[in-house]
Amino acid sequence: MIPFNVPPYVGTELEYVRDAVEKNRKICGDGPYTKMCQRWLEDKLHSEKMLLTTSGTTALEMAAMLCELEPGDEVILPSYTFSSTATAFLREGASLVFVDILPETKNIDPEAIEAAITERTKVVVPVHYAGVACDMDEILRIAGKYDLLVVEDAAQGVSSLYRGRHLGTIGDIGCFSFHETKNYSMGEGGAISVNNPRFRERADVIREKGTNRSNFLRGQVDKYTWVDEGSSFLPSDMNAAYLWGQLQSMEKIFANRMATWDYYDGALSSLCEKGRLELPIIPDGCSHNAHMYYVLLSDLEERTSFISFLKEKGVGSAFHYVPLHSAPAGQRFGRYNGEDNFTTATYERLVRLPLYYGMSDEDREAVVRAVYDYFGEGE
């Protein structure tokens, strides 16, 4: 069986974890490896302030807290995304307003954002699906015009670029995931890039259980005390040590994933030309991180039979996302604004192929062969 995903492991990680445990004697949060990862990410992504978190979800939760929402304030997000994009803002009492995506990238449609804006709208959340950038120029223009905050869900977008800028560093706040299904991992973990200087100090406080511990450690105040709301959003330094190994090998992981992505894209192009399926589209100005390779079948029925055919051939694949606006909680906590031209259709048609660090040539060839077999076509 060719698995759909294998957690990324390059081989150096355990030595760093051992170092954290035996040499540093520091396994709680904000130890040496956490600081090294944060500084490394700040340099690499050109972020002014990066903080590791326990997950992409908690990075989004921190972002939502920083937005200081009042009950009834509205947050606009795509319906085609992971539940965390929504739950983070729901916890802050926001009303969720789901909108449609664009057919090319499956990213939030800027026109749908503008059409959904009311007097209560406070935040817009572009989700960079598959690590391919949203139309950030247009989203920033709209946010500027209506005075909205922009929280980027860049969970899938670590190391991707939009017009030369790293995803997650463009809006007021950016959120990343280092879950084992993402390109670079620490098991469970994430990071928040606090781009708007207005939020930088409060981000430290929220992450440190509402205390001014960071100011205290920097010698800026002489007492360490409870000053604001907060939680514990800092990961263990053991997890950060694993991530350090991954970051040191970022180029290698990137190149390996991209080779598989390019292979799929080239090998499947003739099926696309014959109109049997659709392949991802990468707009000008976007350089992506090979987070995901997907194909689009014609409808739900074909998607279902395609996935079971691949399974019979020993190939793991996956579909997602049940549109949030039609999920039970989405109906309870949110509303959909505008037409659903592409959200439900994408959910019904999209299938993700196996793509992970270290995938062998034989395995990716077997995946392509299985796809051709499904359509009864020779390569």
- The residue ranges that bind ligand PLP (CB under 6 A) are 55-57, 81-82, 84-85, 127, 153, 155-156, 177, 179, 190
H or E element in which residue 286 lies: strand 286-287
Minimal distance, residue 8 CB to ligand PLP, in Å: 14
Q: Which residue is nearest to ligand PLP (CB)?
A: 56
The pair of three-digit structure tokens given for residue 247, joined into one six-digit string: 């970051």
H or E element in which residue 78 lies: strand 74-78
Nearest to 30 by CA among 53, 8, 49: 53
- Report DSSP state, residue 22: I
Q: Which residue's CB is nearer to ligand PLP, number 58 or number 195?
A: 58
Minimal distance, residue 157 CB to ligand PLP, in Å: 9
Mapping DSSP onto H, E and C, the string for 141-186 reads HHHHHHCCEEEEECCCCCCCEECCEECCCCCCEEEEECCCCCCCCC
**What is the spatial distance between Cα 44 and Cα 42, in angstroms, rounded to a whole number?**
6
Minimal distance, residue 6 CB to ligand PLP, in Å: 16
Q: Which residue's CB is nearer to ligand PLP, number 111 or number 180?
A: 180
Minimal distance, residue 273 CB to ligand PLP, in Å: 30
Q: Which residue's CB is nearer to ligand PLP, number 241 or number 368?
A: 241
- Count of C-beta atoms within a 10 Å radius of residue 176: 32
| Cis before 80 (ω within 30) | no
Q: Which residue's CB is nearer to ligand PLP, number 175 or number 307?
A: 175
Minimal distance, residue 365 CB to ligand PLP, in Å: 28
Q: Which residue's CB is nearer to ligand PLP, number 121 or number 185?
A: 185
Strands 165-166 vs 161-162: parallel, antiparallel or unpaired: antiparallel
Minimal distance, residue 190 CB to ligand PLP, in Å: 5
Q: Which residue's CB is nearer to ligand PLP, number 55 or number 169?
A: 55
